[in-house]
Structure 1
Amino acid sequence: MDQIGTGCAGFDHVLRGGYPRNSIHLLQGAPGTGKTTLALQFLMEGRDRGETCLYVTLSQTELDLQRIAASHGWSLDGIKVIEVSAHEAGGFSEQSIFQTADLRLDETRRAVQGAIDEFEPARLVYDSLLEIRLLSPDVPRYQRELIGFRDYIARKGITVLLVDTDVDTNDNGELESRGVVHSVSTLDKQLPDYGRAKRRMQVAKMRGVPIFAGWHDMDIREGEGVVVYPRLSPRERPVDSLDGELIRSGRERLDSIFGGGLEPGTTTMVVGQAGTGKSTIASLYATAALARGESVALFLFEERIETFFRRSEGLGMDLRDYYQDGRLHIYDFNPDEISAGEFTQLVQKEAEADDLRVVVIDSFTGYMSSLTDHSQALFDIQALLKHVSRQNVLTILIVAQHGLLGHNSNTPVDVSFLGDTVLFLRMHEEKGRVHRDIVAVKKRHGPHELDVRELVIESGNVDVGPAAR
C-alpha cells in the first residue's frame, strides 16, 4: 500500500509507515490535545516533499495557525490556508422557504469544494467537523454530508485529514460516521491532581494496515510539535547463546562471586537499602567498561549528575573525562518529567549503538515513583529489558528497599523475576560498627557463590572482603 508520512516519526511507526495515500483519515481529541499541531506537521511534511498542501479551517483563523506554528519556530510558507465561516455563510433572508442550517451547510460545502478545485492539493486538512455537525439538523443529514464529501474526495485523489473533537463513542450517529473514513486516531490528555499532563494517542481503526494498536505515550515539545513514543515491541531475534567475554568490574573478588564476571545480554539487579552501596557497584562496572574503551549509558532518577561525579571521585572512580568525550552518556530525570514511552525510547536508542556495553538504570524504584500505573510499568520495563538483552548489552538495574539495618526490607512490588542475576546488599551492626554485606542470591547463567562477603567502601577504594568462615 502506498503510504505517506504524517510529519511525526513515532506516529508513522504506529501506522506501520504512515497514512495510506488518497484516503480520508479522522483525527479526534479534546481541546488542547495537539490536533492542530499534528495537522500542521502533516501538511509541512507534504510541503517539504514538494506537494501542494491546503488547510481549510472552519474553527480557527489563519492568524491562530500562524501563532501555533511560530511557537515551534515553524513557517507556514508554501501552505495555503483558507478560512470558511460556516456560521455566516449564505446571506439569505428570513423569508427563505429553506431551513437556515441547510442553506449554511450548502454554502459551506460549496466554499470548501471551491477551494479544493482551485488549488488541487495533494494533502488537505479539514478543521473541523464540529462546525458541520452543529449545522446539520439531524444525524442522517450529517452522515449524508460526510458521504458526499468522501465521494467528492475520491474523485480528486487527495489524502485528507479531518479534525474533530473527541465525540461520544456511544452515539450511533457518530459510530456510523466513523465508518466513512479510512482511519480513526485519538489524542488524549489526562490531568493528575498535581503535576504535568500525561498525553497519549491511539489508532482505533485503520483499513488494510496492521497498525500497532493500543495507547502510546506522546508529548508536545517546543520546536518538535507532537512527538509519539510507541510502546516497545522487541524484535523477534532469538538469542541462542550469550556472545562475548564476561563483563568484569575490575575487582577480582567481586567478579569471583559471579564465576568470573557478568554475562552480556543479561540483567543484573542490585537490591538493597539506602547506603548499602548499590550505585557504587554499578559505577564499578561502568568504570571498568569505559576503561576498556567501551561505551556506557547511565539513567539517573535519584542523583544529580554532579552528585554522581563527586561520589564516584571520592571512591577513586574519575568519570568526568569519559562523559566529556562522549563515551559515558548520562540522562538525569526530575520526578514526573518523563513518560514510560519516552524513557523506553531513550534506552532503546542507546542500547542499539554498536559500541555500547553497559546500561545502568538507577534506580528502578525512582522510575516507578514517577509513574502512576505501577503494573503497566512492570510490563514496560520487562519488554525493555528483553530488547536490551537482544543487543548483547548488560543491564544493571538498581532496586531500593525500604528500611534500614535489616528492618522492613521489602520492595513496593515483586521485581525479582526481572533479573537474570540478583545481587543483594544489606547492612548489619556488630560490636558497635555498621558493616555492609554482599551476596549473589541468583544467577541463571553459570556458577555463582552463595558466601556472604563484606563490601568495603572507603575513601578512594571499593572492594570485597574474603568470604566469612
Structure 2
Amino acid sequence: MSGDSSVSSGSQVLDGMLGGGYPTNRSTLLTGGPGSGKSTLSMQFLQAGLDAGEDCLFISTEQTIGELRQSFADFEFDLHHENLSITSIHAGAGRTIEGGEDDLTLQTLTEDEDGEILSQGFNPPFTGEYIRQYLERFAPVDRVVLDSVSGLSVITDSPQRFRRSVLDLIRFFSDEFQATSLFTAERTGDNEATNALRFTTHGVVELTQRNVEDDPHHFLRIAKMRGVDYDRREMEVEFGSAGLRIAPKRRSQPPELKDHRHRPIGIGGLDALAGGGLVRGTGVLLEHDGRANLTALFSVLLKHGLETDDRVVLVPTIELRENRTAQLLDGQGYDIENVLETGRLAVVDLVGTWNDDRPNVFTPEHDHETVMNLLARLYDDVEGTIYSLVNADAMVHTLGPADARRVRYFEESELLDPDSALCHVLNPNTVEDRIAAFYRDSAEQTLDTWVGDAGLQYIALRKSPCGFVGTTSLVEYVEEPPYVRVQHPPQTRENPYAEANPYAAGDDRME
C-alpha cells in the first residue's frame, strides 16, 4: 500500500486541484448526471494505479462485465491488465436459505463466475454484510471503484440504515482493504444514495453539464475535500481516448510569453492573487460596487507609490478628499505637507475636495486638452518612475465619456513607461455600460471588490497576464499595518510564474 498522502487521479489538472491527488486510504464521491463522465473518471483513476503497479478493483452495480467493456471500448484503458479485477454485483430475485423463491438476493458476476454464490442454487440476501463478505475475496487492493452506489439503494427503505450500510462499506475499503476508493452516484436533489455519500465520504467531486452559448459543455468542480486546501474553481471537461481531459491547465499566460513587470504592493494575499503584485507598464483597473471599503487599500497603494516611485499622481475619488488622504498617509508614516511640498505627491482634483492653494494640488478646467497637458507636465517634471492612481468616475463625469476615453488612451500611449504604474478606480454602476466595458477592455489587469449579502467583502482577479484569474478572496481589516488582509489563494494552485506548472505536467492527451 502507498505511504504517500495522496494518489494520482489520472489527470494532472485534477491532481493539481487536489494538491497531489485523492487522499490515500480515503473515499471520494464522484457525482453527476448520466453521461457526465463519472465512470470514465473512475476508470482513469484505476488506470493510473495500474500504470504505477498497483492492484485495482472495479465494482459495477448497474452493468454486466460485457456492457462495461463495451462502454470503455473507445478508451485506452487496459481492462485485461493482470492487476485489475472486475466484478458486477446487483440485486435480483432468487432463493435464499432463510427465505423463499422471490427474496431479493445478491447476484454477482466476475470473469470466471456464473453468478451463484452459495451451493444448491441458493444466493445470500442483498445486504451490506453479504456484499462485504463477497468482496473480501478481492483483498488486498490499492484502489477500488464502486460504480454506482445507486445500485445499492434497494438494501433498505430506511435512509438512516442505508447511510449506515454505505458508511460500513467505506470503512471496509479503508480499513480492511487499506484502499483508496471512489464511489459514483447520480446527482439529483432527492437521491438517497447521493445524499448519504455526501456526508460520509472524505471528499466530493461534482461533474455537471450545461450549455454555453447553446453548445453543450461538461464541467468539474471539487465541492468538498477534508483537510485539503483544494482549488474551488470550476473546470471544463473534454472526453478523449485517455479519459477525461480537464482544462484549463492555467488561466494566465505562461512565463515564456510575459512581457510585463510587476511589483508587490505589500498586501501578501493580494500580491499572491495577482501573481506577484500589480503589473507595471500597462493599465490596472480596480472595480468596486460602491459598498466596498477602499480606504485601507488606497492607503497601501499610496504608500507603495511613495516607497517605490519618484512621484505619485493622484486623481482623487470623493473618498480621498484632502483631510481623509492626510489621515491615511499619516497612518502609513507619511506627512501630507512634506510629500506635497517636495513634489512626491501631485494631486489633480477634478471633484473639488482639495485646497488648490497647496503646492502640487491642481484643479484644471474640465476639458480633456487641459487635463492631458497637466498630466504630461507632471510626468515630464520627473526623470524616474510615476505611480498614477486615477478616479475614472471623476474623469467620466467631469469630461464626458468621449473625452475620458481620449485621456485614458493618452495616459497609456504617451505617458506610461515600462516601469511606471497606472491604476484606475471605477464603480461601473455610476457610468454607462459601454464606458465601463471600455475601461475593462483597456486594462491589462482587472480586480473587482464588492460586499456580499452577508456583509463580507471580497476581491477577485478578473483579468491578468499573471496570477490566479477567476479566484475570489476574502478582504478583512486588521489593526496593524498594512491594516488590510486579503485571503491567500489555495496553495494547491499553480504558481503563475513557475516554469514547472503542476497543472501542466505531462500531456493529458486528447487523441
TM-score (norm 2): 0.44
TM-score (norm 1): 0.48
Q: Which has the larger radius of gyration?
A: 2
